[in-house]
Amino acid sequence: MPKQVDHRERREAIARALWRVVEQRGVTHLTVREVAREAGFSHGHLQHYFATRAEMLSFAMDFASEQTSLRVARGLEELGDRPHPRDVLRLMLTEMLPLHADTRATSRMSAAYVLEALHDRNIHARAREGLAQGRALVEQLVRQAVADGHIRPDRDPVTETNLLLALTGFTTLLELDVIEPREVLTAIDEHLDRLFTGNGAG
């Protein structure tokens, strides 16, 4: 058992090193050798855990998703019992955007993963599946909000889900300092207010 824990911890340390390489130096520096150097491992030692760059990248992305899920879970606990769907959606959206150090790391990791997915069939399939699952969860929340009367019944859940996820497109504008985080939060709140206004939510 201790060996398994150690193995997992070392893989997570490598994943965090990969995040740092992407965040600080960019995806062009994302090589097994560069990540090994960042993690303080020899090239051969790192390959004991990840034989290929794609395998390493996939694990790092899975680990990033886990960390995002943990942050969302902590946020949900803070919202208390039976949180309003507007608050849940706001939490999920803000955790997808590079608004603080943790989300910046995972956001940049996601960008690197998408670039890799465009040229690797296996990574493409994994990335597509993960995004589809995330989108399905948002649509489920929207449909339930409609059913519970928080959102008008004439709103199409599919379209509203797509519009909500389109807000994650603020990522590029934030990363390149085109707009400020407060502007993004204002836009998100404005959109959610319009979606939930006039339905007796409270």
Output the pLDDT for position 108.
82
Output the pLDDT for position 198.
58
- Give the list of residues 6+ apart from residue 149 with CB closer than 8 angstroms, or none: 199, 200, 201
pLDDT, mean of residues 7-23: 83
Q: What's the chain's average pLDDT?
A: 88
Can you give the residue ranges of every domain in the chain?
1-51, 53-196
Q: How many CA atoms lie within 13 A of 157 on its CB side?
A: 16
Residue 4: pLDDT band with limits 50, 70, 90 = low
The pLDDT tens digits for 145-166 are 999 999 999 999 999 999 999 9
CB distance 199 to 149 below 8 Å:
yes
State which fold the 53-196 domain adopts: Tetracycline Repressor; domain 2 (1.10.357)
Output the pLDDT for position 87.
96
The pLDDT tens digits for 175-197 are 999 999 999 999 999 999 999 97
Count CB atoms within 10 A of the CB of residue 6: 10
The residue ranking higher by pLDDT, 175 or 202, is: 175
Output the pLDDT for position 200.
42
Output the pLDDT for position 201.
42
pLDDT, mean of residues 47-64: 84
Q: Is the pLDDT of residue 202 over 50?
A: no
Question: CA 134: distance to chain centroid?
Answer: 9
DSSP 31-61: -HHHHHHHHT--HHHHHHH-SSHHHHHHHHH
How does 156-178 read in b/e, with b if 16+ C-beta sit within 10 Å?
ebeebbeebbebbebbeebeeee
CATH architecture of 1-51: Orthogonal Bundle (1.10)
Percent of the chain with pLDDT over 70: 95
Distance between CA 98 and CA 103 in Å, rounded?
5
Output the pLDDT for position 30.
78
The pLDDT tens digits for 109-122 are 888 888 888 988 98
